[in-house]
Amino acid sequence: MKVFISILFITFLTGFPLTEDVYGSFKPKSKGKNSCTVYRGKYTVSDQIEYRYGIVAGQNIATIKSLRGDSQDVISRLMAGVALQIVWPKGFALQPELLYSQKGCMYTGTTTRYDIDYLEIPVKAIYRLYLADVKPFVFAAPYTAYALKLSPNGDVDVAEIDLPQLNRFDAGIGVGAGFDIWKVQISFRYSWGFAQVLNAAYPVHNKVFTISAGLFF
- The CATH number of residue 95's host domain is 2.40.160.20
pLDDT at 204 over 80: yes
Same domain, 123 and 200: yes
Same domain, 12 and 58: no
| Contacts made by residues 21-26, CB under 8 angstroms, sequence distance 24+ | 22/47
Residue 159 pLDDT greater than 60, yes or no: no
Domain containing residue 155: 49-216
Residue 114: the pLDDT is 83
Residues 11 and 90 in one domain: no
Range with lowest mean pLDDT among 3-12, 17-26, 60-69, 181-190: 17-26
Taking residues 145-154, report their average pLDDT: 85
Q: Are residues 120 and 21 in the same domain?
A: no
Task: Please tell me the total number of residues recorded for the chain in this structure.
Answer: 217
pLDDT at 31 over 50: no
How many structural domains is the chain composed of? Answer: 2
